[in-house]
Amino acid sequence: MKEFKQLSEKYLIGNYARFDVAFERGEGVYLYDTEGKKYLDMLSGIAVNSLGHSHPKLVNAITEQVKKLIHTSNLFHIPPQIEVAKMLVENSCLDKAFFCNSGAEANETAIKLVRKYFYDRGEAHKYEIITFTGGFHGRTIGSLTATAQPKYHEGFKPLLQGIKYAPFNDIKALKEAITPNTGAIMFEFIQGEGGVNPIDPQFLQTIQEIAKEKNLLIVADEVQTGIGRTGKLFAYQHYNICPDIITLAKGLGGGVPVGAVLTKEEIAKSFTPGTHGSTFGGNYLSMVASKVVLQEVSKSEFLSNVEENGRFLFNKLKELGLSPRGKGLMVGVSLPEDKKAQEVVKKALEKGLIIGTAGGNTVRFLPPLIITKEEIEKGVSIFKEIL
């Protein structure tokens, strides 16, 4: 580890505050570091490893694909990309898919799509997008601007024009933020990085009413909540809503980098050849991985199990006197003032448990979707011991 740290400091830009651990292999919900220590992973690479580590079907599919073809570019048809698009569309309320490499890129795509859609309609003035405090949408300059958290903006101004902020779950403030230039409202159903904050159903209903009345687009950032994380394939399926645009990433590739945007037929028409693209987006490797993930996660029994195990995790945390929030296996808890989330996460790592932090003094649980009740019980037991 001493050598890793020295080499990292010498050759890598120091924009990550890393823990002094390096992993060598993983199996199921467990990771093993370079010194052989075993860890229970209840963070899954920040909601990425949806099928855990070294899932046999995922390993086999990727291995076989690498032997044949990894990448060709979107100058040509890519059969597995068509298959994944079909699976996403047929399991959602939307009509078309676009693939990129990350959640930030997916959200950047959504911002561009909103602008292009209204431009094509002769309403170029409707370029403004409203986002909400506590939200997180990525780190490209557009998605960073959409992230209404000042701490991420420091040193990067001026930001993109046309993004306005309103307090999350504040109906009055939302209504006041609407102008004739507003084109879309963009939000997460559960704010992940902001502290695992669920959207209020009444606030969501207001968004729908305003969007219908003012002819605005609804953009749902499901980068973290999508692909089974909340117990539904998409978080919007918990509510009576069909967004106009959905962004996806994280768990979609099971560990392989991939992002996606789903939208309605009418809106998709604005992306004509040459208007937007991605060299690596939707290549053979990422699509084969995504296909396996979707085949597994979209099964009704799989999603029911996520919901059931999510309730189990909620109840176990409540037994500790905590107030968990979230849905499915996306769970956050605010710690008492005398406990610091970052310190708790560090002590958990020392005891072989991987968890994360989020906004405020929040500890976040994002385990692989394949986790069992026994493994949840083990993780909460370690957490309890630390508290």
Cβ-Cβ contacts under 8 Å for 41 (sequence gap 6 or more): 26, 29, 30, 31, 49, 52, 53, 354, 367, 368
The DSSP output letter for 329 is T
Catalytic residue among 116, 118, 221, 234: 221
User: Does the annotation mark 221 as catalytic?
Assistant: yes
In sequence order, which residues have a C-beta less than 8 Å from that of residue 179 and are 6 or more positions away?
A: 128
Is 136 one of the catalytic residues?
yes
Q: Which residue type sits at 38? A: K
Q: Which residue in 250, 291, 316, 327 is the catalytic one?
A: 250
Nearest 5°: CA angle at 276, between 271 and 279?
Answer: 135
> How many Cα neighbours within 13 Å face the side chain of 105?
18
Task: State how far the Cα of 192 lies from the Cα of 149, in Å rounded to an integer.
Answer: 13
Strands 353-354 and 259-263: unpaired
H helix intervals, the chain: 2-11, 44-47, 56-68, 79-90, 103-120, 141-146, 150-153, 171-177, 201-214, 265-268, 284-297, 300-318, 341-350, 373-386
Distance of CA 19 to the CA centre of its chain: 22
Which token pair is 102?
């990350």
Q: Which member of 98, 99, 118, 136 is catalytic?
A: 136
Active-site residues: which are they? Answer: 136, 221, 250
